[in-house]
Amino acid sequence: MNLLAADGWVDLFNGTNLDGWEEHSGKAIYTVTNGVLTGESVAGTGNSFLCTKQKYKNFELTLEYKCDALLNSGVQIRSECFPEARLETINGKEIKYTPDRVHGYQCEIDMDVKRGRMWTAGIYDEARRGWLMPPDGEKGAKGMAFSEQGRMVSKPDEWNTLRIVADGPSIKTWLNGVPRSDITDSLTPRGIIGLQVHGVGQVASKVGLNVSFRNIRIREMQ
């Protein structure tokens, strides 16, 4: 990796407010308390994303998160969002984006032990192609092995550390220091970073659930 500077780390989140960030797609509630950025699920909205205003190409990103088990979340990287509706064809398939819909690579956050699928640090192509890692579903051999490793390295109800390195077509992830995903994909080489609160529809038991983030840092590479 060819770093722009010997150190080069920059705080994406200042620990005080949401300067440099803006919400897209949904209406989840994002707040800041004592250096922690928290997203809260609300009823009747789709997936919500608190996104950087700046776009990033090649970088190393680290952050800590803690997530309620019943709330799905994730970290968007190299993602896009347009004010108008758009139509795109990928691998012969037409994909429609509604206005303000965030789409692109997502590093999954999945902490539901009872469900059994522990896919944190997997890579999902939000609103486009679906799962890139693991690619074969929950009952596929790769998916089951990914869940097994996830159960070993995840820390439910505690702070966990994600590391994401995007360098050219290479995208790699780590959870609590353990390698998780390693894919090669060049569909989107540059884009925004976003913090997801998954939509929960009208399910009362899932309204008011939280995902929290802290120590969100990035260093760009050439």
Is pTM beyond 0.85? Reply is: yes
Residue 98, token pair as written in the block: 């509604």
Q: Using pLDDT thresholds of 50, 70 and 90, give the confidence band for residue 7.
A: confident
Residue 203 has pLDDT above 70, yes or no: yes
Per-domain residue ranges of the chain? 10-216
Residue 99, token pair as written in the block: 């206005």
Architecture in CATH for domain 10-216: Sandwich (2.60)
Q: Using pLDDT thresholds of 50, 70 and 90, give the confidence band for residue 22.
A: very high
Segment among 4-18, 81-95, 193-207, 208-222 with least mean pLDDT: 4-18
Mean pLDDT of all residues in 111-135: 95
> Which residues have a Cβ under 8 Å from the Cβ of 48 and sit 6 or more positions away?
23, 24, 25, 26, 27, 28, 39, 196, 197, 199
pLDDT tens-digit map of 119-128: 999 999 999 9
Q: What is the pLDDT of residue 222?
A: 85
